[in-house]
């Protein structure tokens, strides 16, 4: 039995590595993206089940997350004892749920017109990266929105799915992406989703609690490799991370702010809602030139997370090999 489990863990580790490599080389799938398909199903179910009720929203989230997790468990079951199939299936699912490379591309899509002084084009491209209203944002605020979104989404798009893939394999990859997608769809604070989206938002908070802190720790570790300050990242994370209204995003944003010597936070507009976020870091406000720096740091963080996820599965493999009992004394 230990040998079968060892084969599963080795195949899962290989699949995580191959899926991450596909994300590095190709970014998100161009067509028939499974996450987009999930979003279509979720939107259709919302139209049928929406009520201004936490109970209705909890049932909605449970059906979608449970169903997606069950699909992952089914894939796990049918690939048991078939290492090659498990490698390929895990690689495909990992590629589908990771978004590290696409996050960097979305940030660069804002950066290119921003650094060229084309603010209307930068504002037009910001919604693919950040949920705030771009109308009227000046160059500095566009840079801040981009840098903050890169920091936050390093966890959501890359570190967290890798974490759950390492912990729970195919079911973990699939269920996490369902949770995070639902949070983006219905978890935000608005009159329509204040109650209906409550369960989705809380599930995302729970699913990202450990990955966000892992992201902050990896930001500290990766900062020197990308020209940043490890001590600044650690100091700002511990001092300012908890000030953010999100239990998770603040850790990621504060550590990146400290690593790059920036000051994040300020007034954000989300449609009719305005939030004044606390200051994170004690450096200067972000400039357009800081966007590539943030992307490089983000890439260093999530590629390190790939290595840790693979090593975690390999350690499971090593621990699951049958060994003879110790001789008696």
Chain segment 199-216, per-residue pLDDT in tens:
999 999 999 999 999 999
Mean pLDDT of 249-269: 95
Q: Tell me the two tokens of residue 5.
A: 């489990």
pTM: 0.91
Q: Is 136 helix (H, G, I), strand (E, B) or coil?
A: coil
Mean pLDDT of 10-34: 90
Query: Residue 262 forms beta bridges with which residues?
Result: 284
Q: What distance in Å separates the CA atoms of residue 16 and residue 309, rounded to the nearest whole number? A: 8
pLDDT tens for 270-314 read 777 788 889 999 999 999 999 999 999 999 999 999 999 999 999
Residue recorded with tokens 């084009």: 121
Could you count the other beta carbons within 10 Å of the beta carbon of residue 147? 28
Task: Give me the sign of the Cα torsion angle 56, 58, 61, 66.
Answer: negative
């Amino acid at each position: 039995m230990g040998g079968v489990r060892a084969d599963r863990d080795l195949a899962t580790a290989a699949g995580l590595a191959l899926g991450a490599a596909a994300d590095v080389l190709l970014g998100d799938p161009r067509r028939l993206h499974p996450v987009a398909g999930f979003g279509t199903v979720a939107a259709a179910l919302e139209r049928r089940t929406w009520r201004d009720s936490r109970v209705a929203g909890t049932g909605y989230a449970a059906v979608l997350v449970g169903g997606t997790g069950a699909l992952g468990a089914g894939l796990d079951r049918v690939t048991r004892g078939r290492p090659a199939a498990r490698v390929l299936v895990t690689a495909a699912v990992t590629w589908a749920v990771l978004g590290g490379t696409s996050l960097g591309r979305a940030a660069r899509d804002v950066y290119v017109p921003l650094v060229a002084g084309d603010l209307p084009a930068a504002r037009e491209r910001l919604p693919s990266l950040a949920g705030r209203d771009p109308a009227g944002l000046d160059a500095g605020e566009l840079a801040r929105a981009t840098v903050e979104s890169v920091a936050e989404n390093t966890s959501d798009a890359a570190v967290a799915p890798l974490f759950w893939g390492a912990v729970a394999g195919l079911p973990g990859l699939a269920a996490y992406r369902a949770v995070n997608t639902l949070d983006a769809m219905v978890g935000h604070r608005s009159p329509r989703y204040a109650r209906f989206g409550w369960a989705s938002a809380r599930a995302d908070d729970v699913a990202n609690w450990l990955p966000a802190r892992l992201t902050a720790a990896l930001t500290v570790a990766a900062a020197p490799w990308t020209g940043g300050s490890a001590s600044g990242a650690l100091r700002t994370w511990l001092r300012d991370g908890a000030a953010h209204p999100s239990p998770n995003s603040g850790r990621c944003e504060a550590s990146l702010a400290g690593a790059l010597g920036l000051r994040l936070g300020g007034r954000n507009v989300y449609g009719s809602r305005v939030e004044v976020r606390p200051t994170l870091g004690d450096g200067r406000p972000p400039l357009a030139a800081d966007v590539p720096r943030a992307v490089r740091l983000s890439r260093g963080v999530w590629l390190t997370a790939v290595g840790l996820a693979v090593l975690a599965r390999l350690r499971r493999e090593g621990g699951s090999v049958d060994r003879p009992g110790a001789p008696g004394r």
